[in-house]
């Protein structure tokens, strides 16, 4: 069965070695010379084998020849990935650069973020920086003018290091930036504009067009909140969305509506087909296909060729080519062709969650939608239409559920209600957005369309907030490992095969894989610690999270926002199945404040606030972990007189100069030192 499927889907056959080669290349360091030699040997062996074998012998050894070809392609994909790896400037040195603004990425509390490309460097040590894309942070207080896409700046500042994830639960921001081909980050101290002729390349024109559209929408009366939703839904840019908006749409199961994807491009695709048919053109002609493909890529250009729109536009372009061709090509082969072309253009897409979610959703809809839709039959048109939306939602959710739980650790219970209400709203929003973009330079046209567009977006946002506020809207703290996620996908495949062919062997395989998943979950629960201590640096704040049974306490050196808590602890809480009703304890950093002593199992943990000082002894007790949130008002020698310290933990909120001074000669007083800034998050599993 698998052999027949692969024979009908040649691009799927090519995908397997390509994806395997990309994963191996980016996770295992293999000298490129070794890979080139191995690929050359395999190619020579393959060529000699196919040349000297007779036709009958070649057929007899076809499996070996096929395996040799796949192995050669696997090695070539490793070489290609090594060549295409981005250059990363991982340094914290001061520098001067000449950069060109590509786009505005939004704001932080103190800075404006811009994506730039390096056009020049001050020292020979930064030659590799030339031509790299990066992110610069321009301070609000120094903003004498607001740069526009295409402007060139001379910037002075300090490069920022790419901090890697220090544990399996931490979001690896450096990995994310690398996958976006961001090669450097620069915290700018001073900058000035370079008066040169402005560049009008395609990305610059696209960015200027998006900025102009946003400005026109604001002038026509659209609020900032509504503009943020439209910017994400139509232009594929989520930088204006607040954390509260993202959280509400995510918990309501509507986040996919804000990520321009196959749904949005599909609506535009169906709209184009309807328009072409209404003017008298047949839909299966070369001319109609050419118009559809051109318009789809114009839309991709408007959005700045964002990865999600690029994927969807390429996917529908391939589907359109397959539709007008006389050859019968399976949908999975077209889907494989889309994935193959995207990975050849950008190999790092293999690590993009959106890449997998979009293709898995399409594959799942193709496989399961007809079967789910056949469960009920309605003659009343509105009921038929509502049931089709429910069937599509269930089919897409089935294919994306494992990735969603593995990545986001939650599941929106009311996603069907959300889709039934909001998917019909997306179509008129996109239609009005297209027409308002066409009429963007007409004040009359915008004043006519934008109020209706703003009302629809406002209704969409209010609906998401309402669904999010319903009881039990989201099941949180869900956790599956990478192995369990892959096993769930294998279960889905066996389920589909059993539904199609009714062979008991597929049902038997399904039950075996389910048993393997349950066994993996059981082993994970057995090995899970009863209590944990999690010491981290959250945006410069020293934080300790203690989890035990029903207790979930966060000790912090400063107040934390919901966004900071979500990013810092979501993964570890899902792993520990922690109570979501957490308690935050802000440590007293006043002079003469005393430490907090916790007995965790058979270990003693002491949390010491900044400026802490005491003159009593803890009965000269043995302390397993001494966590310092900042420099206490006593030196290490005096502190050692009050207790015996096994391991000293420096939380991340320290200033480097005070830390260096305070830790001088620490080896004489403590057995072990863990600095969160240098050594990463401290994760201690404690068993009773």
Over residues 669-677, mean pLDDT: 80
The answer to whether residues 261 and 254 touch, using CB atoms and an 8 Å cutoff, is: no
Predicted confidence (pLDDT) at residue 143 exceeds the cutoff of 80? no
Over residues 377-390, mean pLDDT: 86
| pLDDT at 687 (0 to 100) | 65
| pLDDT at 513 (0 to 100) | 94
Write down the mean pLDDT value for the chain.
Answer: 82
Over residues 69-77, mean pLDDT: 85
| Residue of higher predicted confidence among 412 and 324 | 412
CA distances from residue 91 to 95, 158, 185 in whole angstroms, order as listed: 10, 9, 9
Q: Which of 216-225, 329-338, 490-499 has the lowest mean pLDDT?
A: 329-338
Angle at 100 between CA 99 and CA 102, to 5 degrees: 130
Q: What is the model's pTM? A: 0.85
| Contacts with 569 (C-beta within 8 Å, 6 or more apart), sequence order | 534, 545, 554, 578
Predicted confidence (pLDDT) at residue 512 exceeds the cutoff of 90? yes
| Residue of higher predicted confidence among 478 and 282 | 478
Over residues 502-506, mean pLDDT: 85
| Contacts with 661 (C-beta within 8 Å, 6 or more apart), sequence order | none
Predicted confidence (pLDDT) at residue 463 exceeds the cutoff of 90? yes
329-362 confidence digits (pLDDT tens): 677 887 888 888 888 888 888 888 888 888 888 8
Predicted confidence (pLDDT) at residue 271 exceeds the cutoff of 90? no
| pLDDT at 437 (0 to 100) | 82
Please provide the DSSP assignment of 83-102 as one string.
HHPPP------EEEEEEEEE
Predicted confidence (pLDDT) at residue 165 exceeds the cutoff of 80? no
| pLDDT at 283 (0 to 100) | 59
Phi first, then psi, for residue 245 (nearest 5°) are -65, -45
| pLDDT at 638 (0 to 100) | 75
| Residue of higher predicted confidence among 599 and 503 | 503
CA distances from residue 298 to 204, 265, 274 in whole angstroms, order as listed: 15, 12, 18
485 — pLDDT class (breaks 50, 70, 90):
very high
33-62 confidence digits (pLDDT tens): 888 888 888 888 777 776 776 555 555 666
| pLDDT at 412 (0 to 100) | 92
618-658 confidence digits (pLDDT tens): 555 678 888 888 777 777 777 777 777 888 888 876 766 77
SS3 category, 54:
coil
Beta strands in 549-629, from DSSP E residues, in sequence order: 551-556, 583-586, 596-600, 603-608, 622-628
Predicted confidence (pLDDT) at residue 410 exceeds the cutoff of 70? yes
Tell me how crowded residue 280 is: count the other CB atoms within 10 A of its CB: 6
Predicted confidence (pLDDT) at residue 281 exceeds the cutoff of 70? no
441 — pLDDT class (breaks 50, 70, 90):
confident
| pLDDT at 527 (0 to 100) | 86
- For the CA atoms of the chain, what is the radius of gyration? 29
Percent of the chain with pLDDT over 70: 88
Predicted confidence (pLDDT) at residue 304 exceeds the cutoff of 80? no
The answer to whether residues 181 and 348 touch, using CB atoms and an 8 Å cutoff, is: yes
CA distances from residue 5 to 9, 11, 485, 496, 628 in whole angstroms, order as listed: 6, 11, 23, 14, 60
511 — pLDDT class (breaks 50, 70, 90):
very high
Q: Which of 76-80, 319-323, 506-510 has the lowest mean pLDDT?
A: 319-323
Domain ranges of the chain: 2-84, 94-199, 209-476, 482-527, 531-686
465 — pLDDT class (breaks 50, 70, 90):
very high
Distance of CA 110 to the CA centre of its chain: 24
CA distance 333 to 361: 15
Percent of the chain with pLDDT over 90: 9
Architecture of the domain spanning 94-199: Beta Barrel (2.40)
Predicted confidence (pLDDT) at residue 616 exceeds the cutoff of 90? no
167 — pLDDT class (breaks 50, 70, 90):
low
Tokens 């839709």 correspond to 373
């Amino acid at each position: 069965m698998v052999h027949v499927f692969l024979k009908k889907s040649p691009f799927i056959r090519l995908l397997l070695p390509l994806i395997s080669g990309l994963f191996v290349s980016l996770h295992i360091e293999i000298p490129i010379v070794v890979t080139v030699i191995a690929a050359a040997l395999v190619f020579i062996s393959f060529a000699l084998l196919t040349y000297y074998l007779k036709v009958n012998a070649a057929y007899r050894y076809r499996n070996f020849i096929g395996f040799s070809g796949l192995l050669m392609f696997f090695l070539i994909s490793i070489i290609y990935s090594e060549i295409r790896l981005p250059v990363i400037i991982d340094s914290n040195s001061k520098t001067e650069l000449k950069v060109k603004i590509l786009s505005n990425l939004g704001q932080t509390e103190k800075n404006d973020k811009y994506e730039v490309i390096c056009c020049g460097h001050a020292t020979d040590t930064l030659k590799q920086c030339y031509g790299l894309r990066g992110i610069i942070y321009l301070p609000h207080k120094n903003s004498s003018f607001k740069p526009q896409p295409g402007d060139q700046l001379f910037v002075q500042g300090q490069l920022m290091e790419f901090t890697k994830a220090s544990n399996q639960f931490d979001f690896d921001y450096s990995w994310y930036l690398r996958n976006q081909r961001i090669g450097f980050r620069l915290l700018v101290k001073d900058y000035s504009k370079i008066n040169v002729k402005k560049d009008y390349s395609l990305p610059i024109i696209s960015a200027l067009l998006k900025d102009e559209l946003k400005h026109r929408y604001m002038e026509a009366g659209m609020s900032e909140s509504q503009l943020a939703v439209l910017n994400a839904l139509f232009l594929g840019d989520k930088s204006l969305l607040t954390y509260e908006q993202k959280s509400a749409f995510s918990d309501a199961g509507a986040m996919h509506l804000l990520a321009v994807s196959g749904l949005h491009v599909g609506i535009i695709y169906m709209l184009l087909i309807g328009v072409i048919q209404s003017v008298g053109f047949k839909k299966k002609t070369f001319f109609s296909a050419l118009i559809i493909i051109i318009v789809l890529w114009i839309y991709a250009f408007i959005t700045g060729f964002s990865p999600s729109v690029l994927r969807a536009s390429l996917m529908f372009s391939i589907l359109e080519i397959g539709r007008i061709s006389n050859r019968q090509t399976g949908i999975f082969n077209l889907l494989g062709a889309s994935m193959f072309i995207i990975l050849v253009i950008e190999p790092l897409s293999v690590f993009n969650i959106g890449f997998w979610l979009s293709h898995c959703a399409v594959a799942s809809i193709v496989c399961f939608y007809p079967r789910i839709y056949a469960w009920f039959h309605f003659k009343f048109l509105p009921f038929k239409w509502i049931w089709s939306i429910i069937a599509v939602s269930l089919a897409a959710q089935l294919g994306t559920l494992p990735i969603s739980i593995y990545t986001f650790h939650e599941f929106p219970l009311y996603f069907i209600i959300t889709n039934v209400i909001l998917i019909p709203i997306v179509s008129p929003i996109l239609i009005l957005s297209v027409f308002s973009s066409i009429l963007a330079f007409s004040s009359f046209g915008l004043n006519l369309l934008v109020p209706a567009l703003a009302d629809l977006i406002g209704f969409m946002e209010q609906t998401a907030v309402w669904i999010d506020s319903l009881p039990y809207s989201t099941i949180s703290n869900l956790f599956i490992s990478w192995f369990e996620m892959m096993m769930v996908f294998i279960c889905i495949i066996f389920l589909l095969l059993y539904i199609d062919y009714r062979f008991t062997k597929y049902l038997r395989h399904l039950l075996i894989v389910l048993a393997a998943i349950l066994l993996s979950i059981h082993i994970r629960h057995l090995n899970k610690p009863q209590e944990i201590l999690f010491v981290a640096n959250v945006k410069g704040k020293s934080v300790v999270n203690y989890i035990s049974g029903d207790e979930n306490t966060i000790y912090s050196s400063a107040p934390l926002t919901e966004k900071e808590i979500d990013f810092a602890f979501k993964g570890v809480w899902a792993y520990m199945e922690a109570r979501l009703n957490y308690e935050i304890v802000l440590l007293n950093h006043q002079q003469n404040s005393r430490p907090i002593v916790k007995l965790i199992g058979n270990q003693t943990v002491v949390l010491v606030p900044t400026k802490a000082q005491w003159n009593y002894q803890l009965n000269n007790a043995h302390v397993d972990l001494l966590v310092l949130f900042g420099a206490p008002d006593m030196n290490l020698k005096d502190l050692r007189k009050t207790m015996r310290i096994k391991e000293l933990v420096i939380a991340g909120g320290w200033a480097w100069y005070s830390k260096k001074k305070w830790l001088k000669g620490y080896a004489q007083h403590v057995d072990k030192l863990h600095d969160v800034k240098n050594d990463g998050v401290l994760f201690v599993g404690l068993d009773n």
